[in-house]
């Protein structure tokens, strides 16, 4: 399935691949790419049986950020399509451009991003929306908005706060400097460097897809609360999720499969 510049495929194991498909422009973000990414998250949220997602891109770059033609329009003072009402909340807590990145965090299942080449500006923010980011050795990342007289506004601040120290976030935003893969992982923008990010992301997604899908979704809900919840809220949330899981059909199947040393046969969440 192709949505604008984004292709989506879900296999029989419940692993979805979402592929940015504009390699000739280093997968830069134009309105078709914005629309395609939002449509992909909406499709996956509505598709029964999806258990994990791999987010990746064609060509030599993950995403070079906002399309240069849009910066040309800014220089001329021309209005930008889709960016005239940024304060409107169109997708829960987010506006539409923010949903391009925040949508992956809001998705009910884990998302693993495979990142090669550059992930700059908005492209970095899309990658930050994933639960895990596997970086190629040639990957480079930058919070680049300050170079264009802007601030990160595609959920970058909300996503960075749980990934990097506050002073590092400030350094990245103020300087707009480019960080190589090893440093990106060391400071928290990436999870780890991978020899073949896409292959390793798919292997990770398949492993996740083989776990109790109820427990995986519960874990993501809990992990999404870590940055905001106080101790009492998090402790209660753990108890609520665990109470729902203990003795449930899929949890009993996880125990049986482990004890019998066989592949589990889980039911898809409703």
pLDDT score at 87? 86
Tell me the average pLDDT across 174-202.
Answer: 98
Residues 181-194, mean pLDDT to the nearest whole number: 98
- The Cα–Cα gap between 135 and 137 comes to 6
Between these two residues, 92 and 213, which has the higher pLDDT value? 213
3-state SS of the chain is: CEECCEEEEECCCCEEEEEECCHHHCCCECHHHHHHHHHHHHHHHHCCCCCEEEEEECCCCCECCECHHHHHHHHHCCCCCCCCCCCCCCECCECHHHHHHHHHHHCCCCEEEEECCEEECHHHHHHHCCCEEEECCCCEEECCHHHHCCCCCCCHHHHHCCCCCHHHHHHHHHHCCEEEHHHHHHHCCCCEECCCHHHHHHHHHHHHHCCCHHHHHHHHHHHHHCCCCCHHHHHHHHHHHHHHHCCCHHHHHHHHHHHHCCCCCCCCCC
pLDDT at 38 over 60: yes
Contact 145, 152 (CB under 8 A): yes
Mean pLDDT, residues 252-264 taken together: 96
* Whether pLDDT at 64 is above 80: yes
pLDDT attached to residue 70: 61
Check pLDDT > 80 for residue 77: no
CB atoms within 10 A of CB 9: 12
pLDDT(79) > 60: no
pLDDT at 85: 79
pLDDT tens figures, 98-118: 999 999 999 999 999 999 999
Stronger pLDDT, 143 or 92, i.e. the higher one:
143
What is the reported pLDDT for 93?
A: 87
Residues 27-35: what's their mean pLDDT? 94
Measured distance CA(236)–CA(239) in Å, rounded: 5
How far from chain centre, in Å, is Cα 239?
Answer: 27
Bridge partners, 91 (sequence order): 94
Average pLDDT, the chain: 93
- Using left for φ > 0, alpha for ψ between -120 and 50, and beta otherwise, residue 124 falls in alpha
pLDDT digits (tens, 9 = 90+) for 156-170: 999 999 999 999 999
Give residue-wise pLDDT tens across range 123-182. Answer: 999 999 999 999 999 999 999 999 999 999 999 999 999 999 999 999 999 999 999 999
Is pLDDT of 74 > 70? no
């Amino acid at each position: 399935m192709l949505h604008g510049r984004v292709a989506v495929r879900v296999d029989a194991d419940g692993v979805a691949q979402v592929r940015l498909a504009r390699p000739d422009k280093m997968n830069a973000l134009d309105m078709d790419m914005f629309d395609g990414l939002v449509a992909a998250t909406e499709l996956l949220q509505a598709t029964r049986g999806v258990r994990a997602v791999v987010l990746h891109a064609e060509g030599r770059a993950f995403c070079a950020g906002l399309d240069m033609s849009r910066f040309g329009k800014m220089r001329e003072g021309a209005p930008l399509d889709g960016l005239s009402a940024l304060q409107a909340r169109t997708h829960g807590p987010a506006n539409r451009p923010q949903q391009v990145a925040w949508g992956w965090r809001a998705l009910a299942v884990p998302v693993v991003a495979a990142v090669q080449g550059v992930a700059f500006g908005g492209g970095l923010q899309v990658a930050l929306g994933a639960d895990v980011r596997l970086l190629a050795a040639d990957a480079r990342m930058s919070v680049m908005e300050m170079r264009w007289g802007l601030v990160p506004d595609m959920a970058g601040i909300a996503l960075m706060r749980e990934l990097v120290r506050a002073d590092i976030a400030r350094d990245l935003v103020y300087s707009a400097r480019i960080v190589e893969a090893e440093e990106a992982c060391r400071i928290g923008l990436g999870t780890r460097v991978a020899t073949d990010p896409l292959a390793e992301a798919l292997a990770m997604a398949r492993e996740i897809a083989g776990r109790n899908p109820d427990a995986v979704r519960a874990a993501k809900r809990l992990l999404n609360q870590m940055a905001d919840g106080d101790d009492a809220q998090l402790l209660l949330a753990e108890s609520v999720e665990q109470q729902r899981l203990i003795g449930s059909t899929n949890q009993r199947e996880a125990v049986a499969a482990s004890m019998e040393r066989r592949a589990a046969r889980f039911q898809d969440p409703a």
